Amino acid sequence: MRESIFRREERNYTVPWWLGSQLTDAAMTFESAPPPSIYIVDDDAAFCRSVERLMRSVGMTAISFASGPAFLKAAPDLADGCVILDVRMPGMGLELQKRLKLIGFRLPIIVMTLKGDMETAVRAMKGGAVDFIEKPFDDEKLLDAINEAMAMETAPVHDRESMEAAKRIARLSPRERQVLDKLVAGRLTKQIAYDLGISARTVEVHRARMFARLGTRTPAEAVRLAVLAQLAPAHVGSPATDRPYGVVSRALPK
């Protein structure tokens, strides 16, 4: 599967910024500086080994930590790279994000959540994570998330992404915003239908229109936009009078 991923992207491949490469006479010449490392914080040893193999296959280095405290101890000495964090680890998951912020840790963090656990994903992004991916996921999705996270070299880049998300959210109709709010809160289609007093089929219609307006394909992508939009300056998007539910619901998990 991994071969098919790279074979499909070969014609339009963009060299990641951290490789510092130059294309001359169709040949690729890399600088001597090694690429940043990927730090995996997960207590699943088999998963860590799998990600390490994947990183090696694309010319990157991966270092695993079996617990939050172990990573927290090493964090002050890490100057470059990206973190993949399982926030569902016992003992320290989301709490690790808070501790890292207190010591001024600046590397981008991608959190891993269980599929459908939107509440945790929202809390993680509000806590400073640049993105989240749902388990189980494939190699391509992980590599895409890492590539995007590593490209966020400065805060303004993330700010621009948040402002763009707010503008896209502002295009939604009031009902579509309600459906999005419910998705952010982790509600399923039948639960949303009950909450809003409409049929499940009507919820699906509004959800499909919402995805089309946002340019997303999955609930997880829509939720990510909603959280990013909440982080944008208040003036971005439509005036507050045109947004009765806000950019995203006030009912977002704290």
The count of domains in the chain is 2
Give backbone dihedrals phi and psi of 250, rounded to 5 degrees, phi first: -70, -10
Query: Does one domain contain both 17 and 108?
Result: yes
* pTM of this prediction exceeds 0.85: no
DSSP 109-131: EEEEEETT-HHHHHHHHHTT-SE
Query: Does one domain contain both 10 and 135?
Result: yes
Read off the pLDDT band of 246 (50, 70, 90).
very low
Query: Does one domain contain both 135 and 203?
Result: no
Write down the mean pLDDT value for the chain: 76
Query: Does one domain contain both 44 and 134?
Result: yes
Q: What share of the chain has pLDDT > 70, as a percent?
A: 73
Query: Does one domain contain both 205 and 125?
Result: no
pLDDT tens-digit series, residues 111-135 = 998 876 777 888 888 788 888 888 8
Query: Does one domain contain both 14 and 108?
Result: yes
pLDDT tens-digit series, residues 169-222 = 999 999 999 999 998 887 889 999 999 999 999 999 999 999 999 998 888 788
- Indicate whether 251 belongs to any domain: no
Q: Round to whole Å and give the CA distance between 161 and 225.
A: 9
The answer to whether residues 190 and 121 touch, using CB atoms and an 8 Å cutoff, is no
Q: Which residues form the domain of 90?
A: 2-153
Q: Which CATH number characterizes residue 230's domain?
A: 1.10.10.10
Query: Does one domain contain both 106 and 199?
Result: no
Q: Round to whole Å and give the CA distance between 188 and 69.
A: 35
- Indicate whether 85 belongs to any domain: yes
SS3 134: strand
* pLDDT exceeds 70 at position 38: yes
Mean pLDDT for 30-44 is 76
Highest mean pLDDT among 107-111, 118-122, 135-139, 159-163: 107-111
